[in-house]
């Protein structure tokens, strides 16, 4: 889920800016500046499952990657969620973080 800077610092998921629920979500960031995300499963943010993405203002045109994004990003196997609600939320958070990581790798290249 996306949160404010204060929510990020306090690991407070009570009033997110936006949430993702499928576990196979993508996030398109269209503005520069800091974008704060954390896992809403109790205890996960306190354990470090949060990320601050700082998108810099473009100063010049940067050429795109010479390889296709699928060549740059390793394939990740994610186990299917278990029947329990907590495990399903945990898998959702894991998939969201993997998606964010892939997005960052592609945008940096």
3-state SS, one letter per residue, for the chain: CEECHHHHHHCCCCCCCECCCCCCCCCCCCCCEEEEEECCCCCCCCCCCEEEEEECCCCCCCCCCCCCHHHHCCCCCCCCCCCCHHHHHHHHHHHHHHHHHHHHHHHHC
The class of domain 2-58+65-108 in CATH terms is mainly beta
pLDDT (tens digit per residue) in 53-98: 999 987 766 666 665 655 666 666 766 655 555 566 677 777 888 8
Quick: pLDDT tens for 13-58: 999 999 988 878 888 888 999 999 998 888 999 999 999 999 998 7
């Amino acid at each position: 889920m996306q949160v404010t800077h204060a929510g990020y610092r306090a690991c407070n998921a009570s009033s997110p800016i936006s949430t993702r629920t499928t576990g196979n979500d993508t996030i398109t960031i269209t503005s520069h500046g800091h974008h704060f995300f954390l896992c809403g499963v109790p205890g996960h943010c306190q354990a470090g499952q949060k990320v601050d993405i700082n998108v810099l203002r473009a100063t010049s045109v940067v050429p795109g990657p010479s390889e296709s994004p699928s060549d740059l990003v390793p394939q990740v196997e994610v186990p299917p969620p278990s029947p329990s609600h907590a495990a399903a939320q945990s898998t959702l958070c894991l998939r969201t973080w993997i998606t964010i990581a892939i997005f960052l790798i592609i945008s940096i290249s």
